[in-house]
């Protein structure tokens, strides 16, 4: 319980969830209400952590799309050959 008190104010998601589960396992049937509370806390932290990861991934995808798509697509569109001036309509001889 002391470890939980140490990280309780600013819990890193995975560590806090695992610690709650371990404490719940240690309490077991001796304190059913405490065990239930620890498991609920663990699930809440895990759900919040997953939600934040999903939101971050979606925001990154939107930023990537707004920046012009995938870098690999941009690199594929590049060519090492010089364009043929006879094919370019801007260089018409009038």
pLDDT per residue over 34-75, tens digit each?
Answer: 999 999 988 888 888 888 889 999 999 888 887 766 666 666
* 32 pLDDT above the threshold of 50: yes
pLDDT at residue 62 in the model: 87
Q: What is the pTM of this model?
A: 0.51
What's the 3-state SS for 34-72? HHHHHHHHHHHHHHHHHHHHHHHHHHHHHHHHHCCCCHH
Confidence of residue 26 (pLDDT cuts 50, 70, 90): very high
Higher-confidence position of 84 and 37: 37
């Amino acid at each position: 319980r002391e470890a939980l008190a140490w990280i309780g104010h600013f819990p890193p998601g995975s560590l806090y969830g695992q610690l709650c589960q371990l404490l719940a396992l240690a309490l077991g049937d001796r304190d059913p209400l405490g065990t239930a509370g620890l498991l609920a806390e663990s699930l809440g932290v895990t759900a919040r952590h997953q939600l934040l990861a999903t939101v971050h991934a979606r925001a990154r995808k939107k930023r990537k799309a707004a920046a012009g798509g995938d870098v690999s697509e941009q690199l594929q569109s590049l060519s090492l050959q010089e364009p043929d001036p006879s094919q370019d309509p801007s260089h018409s001889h009038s």
